[in-house]
Amino acid sequence: MNSLVLDGKLFHVRCCCHVLNLIVKDGLKQIDDAVDKVRECVKYVKGSEARKDKFSECCSQTNLDFSGSLYPTSNLFFPNILDIHLKLVKELKSEDDYIKMIAEKMWAKFNKYWAEFNLLLAIAVVFDPRYKLSFVDFSYEKLYGSCSLQFQTVKTTLYALFNEYMQSSKNSTSCGASEETDSREVINGEENNSKSFLKEFDLYDRASSSNAKQKCQLTEYLDEPRTKITSPIRILEYWKAQQYRYPDVARLAMDILCVPVSTVASEAAFSLGGRIIDQYRSSTLPSTAEALICTRDWLFSGKGSFYNFCLLNIMI
């Protein structure tokens, strides 16, 4: 296998959160006054613990939930960006001139970065059993019409990627078969020489059967009925369970799904210290700062309203 899969064709992936932030900023420029008022409200709420408690109570009464994930897997990208695309297209035709103007600003930025969906992240959604390749086909048909070149590119790249992984697996199997053949030749001597063509046929048949089985893995997975679209799935755990049934597909899927769609989590890890040691806590001891960072991490790994409240504090 090459150091870069498909010679680096899928190597570059933009940070989705940064691009989305740029799109939203262009839209919010039109409502700066309203945004400034919201920011002032946030400052007021953060002014005291009593106000924070009251705000949390109001959120609970209205069933307003705050939640999020710091580590989204790459299969989440395609459906959400498609949703944004379709909504922007809809608002471009709005009868409200003000909404239309905001949509035009956001659409220009969207096209600058996402005029074409990233191939790798379009492929990633194929390995979500709730979507598979049929969702990519459905999506591109809505965007570009039936039998589009964009969909064919995704499908061709998917199979080329799988074939590269399959070839890597085949090479490792061939090495093992070669070593086994050499040892048998030493043991059997002349008998092997007299029946070498039979041995050659045996290896040929074994390789052909293995190759056919491997080629079927991706097609077999795609032909299976999709999981219900609303099913809660831990995608990495799903493919860990499928690794014996579809070994090569599972290996490819886990490599694709672990590609980060955002750099926010890694950047947050480096910027966290600046939020802990601020102008009011500049003399904090290293041991205290470590305790605060660890406590925050433990709280974020929890569940329930307390976790949501902590997340709200970070957000505001």
The number of angstroms, rounded, from the C-alpha of 2 to the middle of its chain's C-alpha atoms is 23
CB atoms near residue 169 (< 10 Å): 15
Q: pLDDT higher for 301 or 47?
A: 47
Compute the mean pLDDT over every residue in the chain, rounded to the nearest whole number.
76
**Cβ-contact 127, 255 below 8 angstroms:** no
Question: Which pLDDT tens digit goes with each residue over 59-100?
Answer: 777 766 555 555 567 888 888 888 889 899 999 998 888 888
Cβ-based neighbours of 269, under 8 Å, separated by 6 or more:
none
Reported as a pLDDT band with limits 50, 70 and 90, residue 315 is very low
| Alpha-carbon distances of 145 from 120, 140, 192, 221, rounded to whole Å | 21, 7, 60, 26
The alpha carbons of the chain give a radius of gyration, in whole angstroms, of 27
Average pLDDT for 149-156 = 88
Question: Which pLDDT belongs to residue 65?
Answer: 57
The DSSP symbol for 55 reads H
Question: Which pLDDT belongs to residue 185?
Answer: 46
Question: Residue 246 and residue 276: Cα distance in Å, rounded?
Answer: 46
pLDDT of 15 over the 70 cut? yes
Q: pLDDT higher for 290 or 312?
A: 290
